[in-house]
Amino acid sequence: MRRALLAAVAMFTGAAHAQEGGAAAASGALPRVNGAAAGNVVFEAGYFAGFNPQNALDMVNRVPGFTIDDGDDRRGFSGAVGNVLIDGRRPSTKNEELDDVLSRIPAAQVERIELIRDVASRSDAAGQSTLVNVVRTPSAGAGIWQGELEWRNHGRVSPGGNASWTGRTGALDYSFGASRDLEYYPIEGERFYYDGAGALLIHRLDESPRSWRRAAFNADAAFPLLGGSMRVNTRIDRWHFQLSLDQADENAAGAPLGNTKDTVNERRQNEELGVNYDRRFGAVSLELIGLATRGRYANNEATDIRTANPLLIQQQRRNEYRETIGRGTLSWQAAEALRLDVGGEVALNSLDAGQRLTVGGAAVPLPAANVLVEEKRAEAFVTASWRPAERWTLEAQLAGEMSTLTQSGDTQLETDLSYAKPSLQLTRRIGERNQVRFRVYRDVDQLNFDDFVSFAGLADNLVKGGNPNLLPENSWRAELAGDLRFGQDGALGVRVFHHWLRDASDVVPVGPPGQRFDAPGNIGDGYQRGVQVTASVPLGALLPGARLTTDSTWWDTEVTDPVTAAPRRISVFPEAEVRLNFRQDLPAAKLAWGLEYYKQESNITYRINEIDHYEEGPFLDFFIETTAIPKLKTRFYAANLLDSPFTRKRTFFDGDRNGPIVLTEHRSRTRRWGSFFGVTVSGSF
């Protein structure tokens, strides 16, 4: 990891020196620093003109040194809504991707984009190191549309598209839109099962056609109210996934042993309503946020074993999710160098889960399978941002939360939780555009209520147990980050971090001896540490209009295994993620092309009697796009050029992982996805 990190930093640092004083942005409109000690970087709309953007997403994707982050599944509102602001406000939504929000804003309505690097003092920026603020200009009305067709190696076409309209009537700003996506893809593979001595037992062929459909509708409105501004948004999202898995088994000599057919039919619907009210009272500003989310999930799954001893296994799951959040913040600009925020948040989350499992027609009860989980949570915070000198900023926050977690049904349990969450950040500006930050803070993860509920994973032949004693992982975190701006629009960011974990989340055994299941749980203390490198390097000295960007992270993790008592990495936690993008814009030809590379290191899951190792990639995509037709952008792409491999190895032990190996499963794709191709056409009206 260390050698790869040093090589990446050296490559981008070297490119930075080579490009110092390099070519201007495509349009000649240069970014400028605007702010106090550390400075925010402002990109006027003209900066992006050479890229011929259709919407705000096209523009944000060109901001040097910034990558869109949809946020984590965090407690409450603050850290779960990503790192993008619209007119200085968070989109009051938790279930919609920021790409979708930005793609509905016409480029003609964007006045400028601000890269905000002083975020620690914002009470709604938990877990983020930078933000962008998309500042819009009033417009009489504009629409955006996009259509897409994708061809995979099975010959079927997957269509998709969306359209939206943004307008103004008097003092009312409004927008609405809809999208529809369909996707069809097959997966074919094989599995080999070996005994503890390495002798082949079974060879299995898999054939799995899959389909996914999604439809969504959104609408929002903003208008003056009681001396302030009110924004209301709503969204409805539905998707449907179907899978069929046919498995044919043969022994080591090639004789057929029978076949198995798995079917999965999943449906999910989400509705969301958000409101945001702002008003100023002189030097004091008020922000109120309300968010209500409702969701339903249904899954019908069956495994039909067709051997000498046929057997039918069926499972039905029905879940209903609810989340309601209210948040208020008062901000006071006490002096030119001092800002204070005080506020609070209340939330009510619940999951009503029901499950039924039958084997050969007989019901099989699972512990904690039919459960109502509810959490009532309250949080208060006070934040101060102080500039003791021109180049220094000190930002501090003290927050505390209390919650009550109640479980009823198969599990009867009530748990009271409380956490203090202080934060302190010191920022130093170096030169006019560069910045160094040091931050130390405490963080508390969101509880995934699905982890309290048991169900069977029929395709993998295991029980995913629910853990009623699950607690949220919490950690003390220290981060040192530098943000370097070079040339006209180059950027290099390096963030070094260490997290001291308490109640670390992992997979643990639950249940009495002889009836134990693997379940999400708390594994004790541990750590996560690593380095993140973000960079945007102009390559104009080599190729006019070319740029190389990256957002890559290397992790090192450790916890104590509850089965073997030995130190190991955290389950299902890839310890490296590398993303590289190359793009060349040729404004005179109204053409751009590029390559996108992505590789994530393997996932390893440690269960009671099993080690599950999963890996796929790397992925390499190519695109070429043109805006030769006015108000129209056409993009052609070829994805998965490397025909990404997929491997999965499951190693089973006698009793638990302290015992000898008794079975090994090797899984891979025989007919890989292959490269697939698509065309996207977008425009405005």
Reading phi first (left if > 0) and then psi (alpha if -120 to 50, else beta), residue 125 is in alpha
pLDDT, position 628? 87
| Residue with token string 């393997």 | 602
Q: pLDDT tens digits, residue range 236-293?
A: 999 999 999 999 999 999 999 999 999 999 999 999 999 999 999 988 999 999 999 9
pLDDT top residue among 644 and 250? 250
pLDDT, position 260? 93
Q: Report the chain's mean pLDDT, rounded to a whole number.
A: 86
Give me 57's structure tokens: 């997403």
Q: What is the pTM of this model?
A: 0.85
pLDDT, position 588? 86
Q: Is 210 exposed, middle or buried (0-12, 13-18, 19+ CB in 10 A)?
A: middle
Examine the pLDDT at 106 and tell me if it is beyond 50. Answer: yes
Element (H, E) at 10: helix 2-19
Using the 8-state DSSP alphabet, how is residue 99 labeled?
H
Q: What share of the chain is helix, strand, coil (3-state, %, to 5)?
A: 10, 65, 30
CA dist., res. 566 & res. 564, Å (int)? 5
CATH number of the domain where residue 585 is located: 2.40.170.20
CA dist., res. 36 & res. 38, Å (int)? 6
DSSP string, 174-198: EEEEEEEEEEEEEEEEEEEEEETTS
Q: What total number of domains does the chain contain?
A: 1
Give me 336's structure tokens: 């030119």
Q: What letter represents residue 432's amino acid?
A: E
What is the domain range of residue 485?
2-684
CA dist., res. 649 & res. 643, Å (int)? 20
- The answer to whether 487 and 21 are in contact (CB under 8 A) is yes
Considering Cα of 550, then 487, then 594, then 61, what sign does the dihedral take?
A: positive
Q: pLDDT tens digits, residue range 72-102?
A: 655 666 555 677 888 877 776 666 777 778 8
Q: pLDDT tens digits, residue range 477-516?
A: 999 999 898 887 888 999 999 999 999 999 999 888 877 8
CA dist., res. 657 & res. 20, Å (int)? 55
Residues in the chain: 685
The residues near 467 (Cβ < 8 Å, ≥ 6 apart) are 368, 451, 452, 508, 510, 519, 520, 521
Say what percent of the chain tops pLDDT 90: 58
Considering Cα of 197, then 201, then 205, then 211, what sign does the dihedral take?
A: negative
CA dist., res. 540 & res. 39, Å (int)? 26
Give me 158's structure tokens: 């997957």
pLDDT top residue among 541 and 345? 345
Start-to-end Cα distance in the chain: 49
